[in-house]
């Protein structure tokens, strides 16, 4: 049967104590709901319905590019009521898989196992065994071990509260049956809500079997209710990503001291030192080495390149065999070709740097095209901005820029040109020649340094 997925995301998340709706709280830099949606999309469903309510416009705006069916639940009357809002858009012939917008780390394989149990004779239900089940709905089983109902914590008696197996909230069943069970829900319970969990008892009464899929890890099913749990999930996510990288052969000096907030791919024998933060889409080639305290965001680093400590790389492409840093900053839209050296306190912005070129110390290259085998001396600055407009600098192959040079853009330095140290270059410099732009040095003969009078 075709699958319809319903993601419940209307809750307020009071305990977050935040103006941001709960499902938009960031985990690894992306809204919780975006994680759930990504997993949902990997399941090949006929449709994905997102039930929203609190912070509605912001939730929709944050995920405006997603092709989902938005379903408004104007008043939060319970999880059963929430699912009911989506039902008019779901045909009888579908299976319905229910997910929570605040349970972000559930794996696609687990959901597939749950969905596989949706049939005319059974329901799939994801459960978990927790050390501390406080607050969760408990799974009540009969003497033969069959699931017979779910009792909410607030409605449970002492004996039921001692049960460690809990309802994760995630379940799957045929749409037609779900529709008639939802219509029969009542809210005469401790919270005065229409509980989705009550459909389990109804299904059992109709002779259906509840297939409990017990989650293999706690992290996978943990929901987020406050910032403490958010931090716990962040660390679970981090650990999971670090483990994946290590199993793929990456050496991570200390997996507790790496932060991965996105999708990292790595070639063979990559080495990552401590306190490295990887954000967004990061691609690391074979044998890339990343020193301590580097921050890499949406970038590609090619084979055999080394980032020395304390580099910040943002939306840039760095070719093979580069040596970057320590203390280098490569900003968006920069492309470094092979064998480039960018040294300490060098900033590169929106620039292309050709093969074998070097800028080793204290330099700013902005809106610049640097050719091959160029040497940019210490303290060179491309003066690319007049306060309103940005201008480009071109430095052609083999040029040598002496230390302390100001290149006032727009300006072009020809092939093989040499610029004398301390020059302020405002006009194009011809190829293969020495160009200087600085006052001549003079020595004043007969000058005497003032001397203090010595007291008698």
Tally of CB atoms within 10 A around 216 = 12
Is 8 an interacting residue with respect to ligand UD1 (CB under 6 A)?
yes
Binding ligand UD1 (rule: CB under 6 A), the pick from 77, 224, 370, 401 is 77
CB atoms within 10 A of CB 88: 8
> Closest CB to Ca ion among 55 and 223?
223
Cα–Cα distance for residue pair 234/219, rounded to 1 Å: 10
From the list 34-42, 221-229, 248-256, 447-455, the region that binds Ca ion by CB under 5 A is 221-229
Residue range at the interface with ligand UD1 (CB under 6 A); choices 96-104, 288-296, 362-370, 407-415: 96-104
- 31 touches, from ligand UD1, Ca ion, none (C-beta below 5 to 8 Å by class): none
Give the three-class secondary structure for 247. helix
195 binds, among ligand UD1, Ca ion, none (CB under 5 to 8 A by kind): ligand UD1
With contacts defined by CB under 5 A, name the span among 220-228, 240-248, 321-329, 370-378 that binds Ca ion.
220-228
Report the alpha-carbon distance of residue 324 to residue 264 in Å, rounded.
20
Nearest approach in angstroms of CB 300 to ligand UD1 is 36
Nearest 10 degrees: Cα torsion 403, 408, 409, 410: -110
Annotate each residue in 212-251 with x if it binds ligand UD1 (CB under 6 A) or - if it does not, as one string. Answer: -----------x----------------------------
Would you call 361 a catalytic residue per the annotation? yes
Residues contacting residue 318 through CB under 8 Å, at least 6 positions apart: 299, 300, 301, 302, 305, 324, 330, 336, 340
SS (H, E, C) 387-416: CCCECCEEECCCCEECCCCEEECCEEECCC
Q: What is the β-pairing status of strands 122-129 and 165-174?
A: antiparallel
Using CB under 6 A, which of the segments 89-97, 110-118, 195-203, 209-217 binds ligand UD1?
Answer: 195-203
Q: Is the Cβ of residue 103 or residue 185 nearer to Ca ion in the bound state?
A: 103
Is there binding between residue 106 and ligand UD1 (CB under 6 A)?
no
In this chain, which of 5, 28, 37, 81 binds ligand UD1, going by CB under 6 A? 81
Q: Compute the distance between CA of residue 171 and CA of residue 137 in angstroms, rounded to an integer.
A: 13
Residue 85 contacts ligand UD1 per CB under 6 A:
no
423 binds ligand UD1 (CB under 6 A): no
Tokens of 265: 């791919």
Question: Which ranges in 50-133 belong to alpha helices (H)?
Answer: 56-62, 79-86, 108-116
Among 78, 174, 356, 402, binds ligand UD1 (CB under 6 A): 78
8's contact among ligand UD1, Ca ion, none, with CB below 5 to 8 A by partner kind, is ligand UD1
Q: Is 223 in the site for Ca ion (CB under 5 A)?
A: yes
SS3 178: helix
Contact status: 150 vs ligand UD1 (CB under 6 A): yes
Query: Of 67 and 134, which CB lies nearer to Ca ion in the complex structure?
Result: 134
Q: Using an 8 Å Cβ cutoff, are 224 and 9 in contact?
A: no
CB atoms within 10 A of CB 10: 28
Candidates 67-75, 197-205, 207-215, 223-231; binding stretch for Ca ion (CB under 5 A): 223-231
Cβ 127 to ligand UD1 shortest distance, Å: 9
CB nearer Ca ion, residue 152 or residue 273: 152
Task: Give the position of tokens 């607050």.
Answer: 135
Q: Which of 35, 81, 94, 361 is catalytic?
A: 361
Q: What are the tokens at 286?
A: 């074979």
- Out of 95, 102, 273, 394, the residue judged to bind ligand UD1 by CB under 6 A: 102
Q: Is 40 in the site for ligand UD1 (CB under 6 A)?
A: no
Q: How many CA atoms lie within 13 A of 347 on its CB side?
A: 9
- Among 167, 357, 380, 423, contact with ligand UD1 (rule: CB under 6 A): 167
Residues whose CB is less than 8 angstroms from the CB of residue 295 and which lie 6 or more positions away in sequence, other chains included: 276, 277, 279, 311, 312, 313, 314
How many chain residues bind ligand UD1 (CB under 6 A)? 27
Q: Which stretch binds ligand UD1 (CB under 6 A): 179-187, 193-201, 268-276, 409-417?
A: 193-201
CA–CA dist 169, 172 (Å, integer)? 10
Q: End-to-end CA distance of the chain: give it in Å, rounded.
A: 110
Would you tell me which residues interact with ligand UD1 (CB under 6 A)?
8-11, 51, 73, 76-79, 81-82, 100-102, 136-137, 150, 152, 166-169, 195-197, 223
Q: Catalogue the active-site residues.
A: 361
Would you tell me which residues interact with Ca ion (CB under 5 A)?
223
């Amino acid at each position: 049967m075709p699958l319809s997925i319903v993601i419940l995301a209307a809750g307020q998340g009071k305990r977050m104590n935040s103006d941001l709706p709960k499902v938009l709280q960031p985990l690894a830099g992306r809204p919780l709901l975006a994680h759930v949606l990504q997993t949902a999309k990997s399941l090949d469903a006929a449709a994905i319905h997102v039930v929203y309510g609190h912070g509605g416009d912001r939730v929709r705006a944050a995920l405006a590019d997603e092709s989902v069916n938005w379903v408004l639940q104007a008043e939060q009357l319970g999880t059963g009521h929430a699912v009911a809002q989506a039902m008019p858009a779901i045909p009888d012939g579908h299976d319905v898989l229910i997910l929570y917008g605040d349970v972000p780390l559930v794996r696609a394989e687990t959901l597939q196992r749950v969905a596989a149990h949706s049939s005319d004779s059974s329901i799939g239900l994801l459960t978990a065994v927790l050390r501390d089940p406080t607050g969760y709905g408990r799974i009540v089983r009969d003497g033969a071990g069959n699931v017979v109902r779910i009792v909410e914590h607030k409605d449970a008696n002492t004996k039921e509260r001692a049960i460690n197996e809990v309802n994760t909230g995630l379940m799957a069943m045929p749409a037609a049956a779900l529709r008639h069970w939802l219509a029969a829900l009542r809210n005469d319970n401790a919270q005065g809500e229409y509980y989705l969990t009550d459909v389990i008892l109804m299904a059992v009464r109709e002779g259906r079997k509840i297939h409990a899929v017990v989650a293999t890890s706690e992290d996978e099913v943990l929901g987020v209710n406050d910032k403490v749990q958010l931090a716990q999930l962040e660390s679970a996510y981090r650990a999971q990503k670090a483990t994946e990288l290590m199993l793929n052969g990456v050496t991570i000096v200390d997996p507790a001291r790496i932060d991965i907030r996105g999708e990292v791919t790595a070639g063979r024998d990559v080495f990552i030192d401590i306190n490295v933060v990887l954000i967004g889409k990061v691609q690391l080639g074979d044998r890339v080495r990343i020193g301590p305290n580097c921050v890499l965001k949406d970038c590609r680093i090619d084979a055999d390149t080394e980032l020395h400590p304390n580099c910040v790389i943002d939306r840039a492409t760095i070719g093979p065999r580069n040596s970057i840093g320590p203390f280098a900053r490569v900003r968006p839209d920069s492309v470094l070709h092979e064998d480039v050296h960018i040294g300490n306190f060098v900033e590169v912005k929106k620039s292309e740097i050709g093969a074998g070129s070097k800028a080793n110390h204290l330099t700013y290259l902005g809106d610049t095209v640097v050719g091959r085998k160029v040497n940019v001396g210490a303290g060179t600055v491309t003066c690319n901005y007049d306060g309103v407009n940005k201008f480009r600098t071109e430095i052609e192959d083999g040029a040598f820029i002496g230390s302390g040079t100001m290149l006032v853009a727009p300006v072009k330095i020809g092939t093989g040109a040499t610029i004398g140290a301390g020059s302020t270059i405002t006009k194009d410099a011809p190829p293969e020649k020495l160009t200087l732009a600085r006052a001549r040095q003079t020595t004043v003969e007969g000058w005497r340094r003032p001397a203090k009078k010595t007291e008698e």
